[in-house]
Structure 1
């Protein structure tokens, strides 16, 4: 399986494709690629039995696709936890390292790392880590951009993206922060929120607001 196809499996899983249909637009925004490229890959994945695609409705993972995605996500996020907790990596810098390590990691090694880390249930950017039996609690799949004006939400997790994590670090936005959504600017403009944790008003870009999951 190509690294790109693995990236699609992981992002569809992360966007909720285990239980619901994920749109091509969501995938394109999350992977920062053209919508046409998404259509081509989605069709390949459907032909290989990894996903089910309904035109104009979106894509979800098959049972086979879910199992593959869970295995990839587990390895990737355990390595991320190790890099942050044991080697002191900055959060924006762990994704590329984990991307390499996940492909050369045996089940025995990942289980040993899991035990050494105390069996973490979530990675440093808030993503769920399936245990060795494949059990986990489903993540929130509501993005900040979809929260209504006036709504108060809690930051649950972030998409694993270097530029995003650097950007959020500059904004001083953290997992667990409570946000009051003040307004959505029109024409794919930013989302303005008040961070109730430190009472700061933040302007979050349209794209970043699709990378921040809230509950």
Structure 2
């Protein structure tokens, strides 16, 4: 399987494609590629039985697609934990290294890394680390962009993207921050929020708001 196909499986998984349909637009936005390229790759994954497609709704992973995505993401996120925890990498810089390492990681090495790290449940950017037995809690799939004005939420995770993580570091938005949504600016404008944790108002760009996943405060 090519690295590009693997990237598609991973992003569909990250966007909630194990249980719901993910639109081509969301895939294109998350991978920063043209929508036409998404259509072409989805057709290839369909022919291999890794995704299911519903016109005007989007794609979801088949059982085979979920299994492949789980293995890829487990290896990728375990390496991210190792790079941050053991080698002091910044969160924004681990993705490319983990992308290379996941492809040369045997089951034995994966098990050894997992044990060495204390069987972590989440990667540095908040994503759940899948387990081979399927016994793991799924990621939150609610986007900051979809939250209504006036709601209070907690930042749960970020899409693993260097540009995004650098930007979020610059505006000081972190996992676990409690936010009150002030206003969504019209015409694909930014989201204005009050960061209750840091006691400051910040503005999150339209694009970044589609990469930030949240949980509602109970």
Q: Scaled by the length of structure 1, what TM-score is found?
A: 0.99
CA apart distance, 1:195: 0.3
- Rounded Cα–Cα distance in structure 2 between residues aligned with 1:71 and 1:167: 29
How does 1:37-116 map onto structure 2 within 5 Å?
Answer: 37-116=37-116
**Inter-partner Cα distance in structure 2 for 1:151 and 1:60:** 29
Q: How far, CA to CA, are the matches of 1:80 and 1:102 in structure 2?
A: 10
- State the Cα deviation string for residues 50-90 of structure 1 (Å, max 9, x = none): 00011101100000000000000000000000000000001
3-state SS, counterpart of residue 214 of structure 1: strand
Give the secondary structure class of the aligned counterpart of 2:179.
strand
Cα drift, residue 99 of structure 1: 0.1
Runs of 4+ in 1 over 2 A off after TM superposition: 131-134
- The match for 1:2 is 2
Contact 1:192/1:204 (<8 A) preserved: yes
- Alpha-carbon RMSD: 0.6
> 1:150·1:182 contact (CA, 8 Å) conserved in 2?
yes
CA distance in 2, matches of 1:132, 1:142: 25
Give the match for residue 184 of structure 1: 184
| TM-score using structure 2 length | 0.97
1:22-56 Cα deviation digits (max 9, x unpaired): 01111011000011111111111111100001110
CA distance in 1, matches of 2:198, 2:86: 29
How big is the shift at 1:199?
Answer: 1.5
Alpha-carbon distance, 1:131 to partner? 2.4
**Post-superposition shift, 1:145?**
0.2
Instruction: Give the count of matched residue pairs.
Output: 215
Note the residue ranges of structure 1 that are not aligned, 5 or more in a row. none
Q: d(CA) in 2 for partners of 1:178 and 1:154?
A: 4
Report how far residue 132 of structure 1 moved: 3.6
**Residues of 1 paired with 2:144 and 2:80: CA distance?**
24
1:172 corresponds to which residue?
Answer: 172
Q: Distance in 2 between matches of 1:111 and 1:207?
A: 36
Stretches of structure 2 that go unaligned for 5 or more consecutive residues are: none
